[in-house]
A and B are shown apart, each in its own frame.
Chain A
Amino acid sequence: MSNFFTDNPDLQFHLSHPLMQKIVSLKENGFAHKDDFDFAPQDFEDAMDSYAQILEIVGEISGEIIAPNAESVDHDGPKLENGRVQYAKGTQENIDAITQAGLMGITLPREFGGLNFPITPYIMAADIVSRADASFVNIWGLQDCAETIHEFGSDEQKENFLPRVCKGETMAMSLTEPDAGSDLQAVALKASFDEQKGTWVLNGVKRFITNGDGDISLVLARSEDNTIDARGLSMFIHDKKKGGINIRRIENKLGIKGSPTCEIVYKDAPVELCGNRKFGLIKYVMSLMNGARLGIVAQSVGISEAAYREALTYAQKRYQFGKPIIQFPAIYEMLAIMKAKLAASRALLYETARFVDVYKAYGHLATERDLTKEEKEDQKKYQKLADVYTPLAKGLTSEMCNQIAYDSLQIHGGSGFMKDYPIERIYRDARITTIYEGTTQLQVVAAIKGVTTGAYLAQMKEYEQASIKPETESYRRILIDMVFEYEEVEARVTIHNNQDFLDFHARRLVEMAGNIIMSYLLLFDTQRDHDYWKTLEVYLRHARSRNHEIGNFLMHSHLNDLGKYRFE
């Protein structure tokens, strides 16, 4: 019996973070539901106990059903039949188990059939499921889209769609088109109001849509004639029952092969407008994307966990030169760094999830009562943190996920290159994480604002003030030096006041900031559980040397260097 929650003390550790007290009390609004719903928690302990027990169900389904199905799901993949997607047999089994367990609509309010969980335990479920099968988390994790309907949809839309999601209907987020990838302002799918039918209809094509044949889709389309930018785009809800769409093609991908990536043809597809016209990209997609990005961070961490475990098991079992290869420094160093990167990624994931949780919980609370001035300020503070931490986490953890998968395959040697071990699938699955929901390069564009506005620095200074155990003081001194180095390097770039120069070095500055932040988070983890000290030691050494390297590069970088790199 394998359980991917109970076999992983890191998850239980992060679930019990002190900030959960605040999150739960905001989310449950003084446990106001306890008499209205027989499954609502009575108090903080009750809520936390429920999260842990439900994650145990997720862990059991992941260990007993989803992971054993992963190989056949990867091999069989979804099929296209008469314009409709048929999931692989294993994928359907996974969906059935998840639905029977009531694990759809986890974060949605109880009145719509949801569990009203905060983001943090939901993200933890995504972390667990991703370790089992990264392709499946795409289908299951799209329940995120329901949050957008909940936040911006009309009462009627909420009552129609949200209970259906909680009962197991799947979702899709239809944004990308052949000519609108990273640049969503170029979306051309045409939305027009059909006066006769009294409804909006869509005509055109979407491409690379994950689970494009899902039951309920959010679709970005051009509702305003004669516009070419973001201001002409609106968000629509498509109900598959209403018809009007056909799947023309399922992409043949390198990884996450179990998740159907669809090309969709819309032909007079009836849809409902979600929220206000013209706000599609500038408001709703941005909100949708932030949620989705956090989901990819969880996916990256889950894949990293799987890759690390495969490497560890292999290195312990594989004998060469008369001993298990884990006893060779070249191998145990790799494993130790993989483990440290995994822990750092996970620390950043849950720090970000908690920030999102606090500000979103305030948002929900505001629909029930007026927030006080202090609460509004607090909400703003956490929203700002969530906004700068989300791209930082997406950018860094997805890259680390690929590094971990790469090293894991390397440790497997020739066997890793064969199809005989799970690592070849994990390695392929990892590859997408740095690409979709915004490439790493685009995450850097968002995250650099955290550098230039001083948001990361302010947070580092706040971390610096935290009270820590005296025996860990030496780590803080190292971190204070690293922050000083970061400030110096940042000034070296920004002093030129040149956008190209800043863009050129942005990824370096973001990485430096991330390395410091993750080191601080591991330092705090060590306060609560002494067992993290070794991981902290390894990660801090890695982070410090990376930051020195970047600092060194910057030391010798000048404005006119750009010409040497630029292609005319």
Chain B
Amino acid sequence: MKKFNIIVLAKQVPDTRKAGKDAMKADGTINRSILPAIFNPEDLHALEQALRVKDQFPGSTITLLTMGPPRAVEILKEGFYRGADDGILLTDRAFAGSDTLATSYALASAIREIKDVDIIFSGRQAIDGDTAQVGPQVAEKLGIPQVTYAEEIIKITDQTIQVKRRLEHGVETVECPFPLVITVNNTAPHCRPRNAKRLMKYKHASTMSNRQENNDDYLASAIAHTHLTIKEWGVNNITVDHEQLGLSGSPTKVKKVDNIIFQAVETKTFTDMDEDMDELMKELVESHIVG
């Protein structure tokens, strides 16, 4: 039985679902202290798809790959708790300020270093940028096919994979050879829960530089528990053209950020109590919206 080498691209994002009036700072940047950093929700759906492939093909390996600042190590741990085998944190000052093009360039370069990859899963899009560009761009840069908006894996053989895609007006089932990139929709099943034993096993995992920063006895713990040291790659670990990284590799320039306040003409709050419902119905009938 084939053993698949799977990569899941994941991103740590501010939980924009919790966005309120203080979500943006005066200078137009995201107020990260208000919004907790989480595992991008659709990337969790992607991880679940990877885990299902592994359930079906035991011995397959799942490596989480994330690019971000040192604290992005938290989502790698989250991935370990849920069943990922390995994780790589792509972190370097040189990556700072990357737009989707520079991000996908760095990720694709890292994937080339991992070698012999069969499937690359990622969420359709991240809830902070909502671009849905990184997955497809990675596929383009690696020169491999891509299946976007995936909802379900129908069938896998040694050579091909059949995937159901959820599109705007229906579904489509496609078949594709390996290697490929699959971006997963939030209509796919939710990720399985964190596992108790895996949590206790990996909760002390960290990168070497995080340990150094915390003044831990980092060498001792790394030698005692190798599984607790998370791989950390910088520009020197991958083969890249520095010009295409970070700000210099990012054609997207933010010219101006405007604060937009949604102004509804008139709003009213109705509770789910019967009286409120009655009143709402009355108004809707009167304004000829219903009836």
Contact = CB atoms under 8 A, between A and B. Distances in A.
Interface string A58-99: 001100000000000000000000000000000000000100
A54 B201 CA distance: 12
A447 B261 CA distance: 65
Given A53-B199, A57-B199, A317 B271 contact: yes
A102 B273 contact: no
Given A39-B201, A317-B271, A54 B227 contact: no
A109 interface: no
Contacts of B198: 39, 102
Interface in B188-220: 192-201, 203
A38 B273 CA distance: 53
A57 B227 contact: no
A38 B195 contact: no
Interface residues of A, number: 21
A260 B23 CA distance: 48
A318 B272 CA distance: 9
Nearest to A317: B271
B115 interface: no
Contacts of A288: none
A189 B281 CA distance: 63
Contacts of A552: none
Contacts of A102: 195-198
A103 B198 CA distance: 12
Among B195, B200, B273, max chain A CB count under 10 A is at: B200
Nearest to A60: B193
B277 to A, nearest CB: 12
A61 B194 CA distance: 10
A97 B272 CA distance: 32
A50 B193 contact: no
A49 interface: yes
B253 interface: no
B168 interface: no
Contact of A50 (B192, B195, B199, B225): B199
Contacts of B273: 317-319
Nearest to A117: B196
A49 B204 CA distance: 11
A422 interface: no
Given A38-B225, A38-B227, A317-B271, A50 B203 contact: yes
Interface string A30-64: 00000000111100000001100110010011000
Interface string A180-223: 00000000000000000000000000000000000000000000
A50 B197 CA distance: 10
A366 interface: no
B275 interface: yes
Nearest to B17: A1
Contact of A97 (B193, B201, B225, B227): B193
Interface in A509-523: none
A103 B195 CA distance: 8
Contacts of B199: 50, 53-54, 57
B197 A49 contact: no
A100 B192 contact: yes
B184 to A, nearest CB: 19
Given A38-B227, A39-B201, A100 B196 contact: no
B201 A38 contact: yes
A203 to B, nearest CB: 40
**Max count, chain A CB within 10 A of own CB: residue among B194, B201, B273:** B194
A27 B200 CA distance: 17
A39 B193 contact: no
A390 to B, nearest CB: 27
A286 interface: no
B225 A57 contact: no
B196 A61 contact: no
Contacts of A319: 273, 275
Contacts of A57: 193-194, 196, 199
B195 A101 contact: yes
Contacts of A50: 199-200, 203
A118 to B, nearest CB: 14
Given A53-B203, A100-B195, 17 more contacts: A38-B227, A39-B201, A41-B200, A50-B203, A54-B196, A54-B200, A57-B193, A61-B193, A100-B192, A101-B193, A102-B196, A102-B197, A103-B196, A115-B197, A115-B200, A317-B271, A318-B273
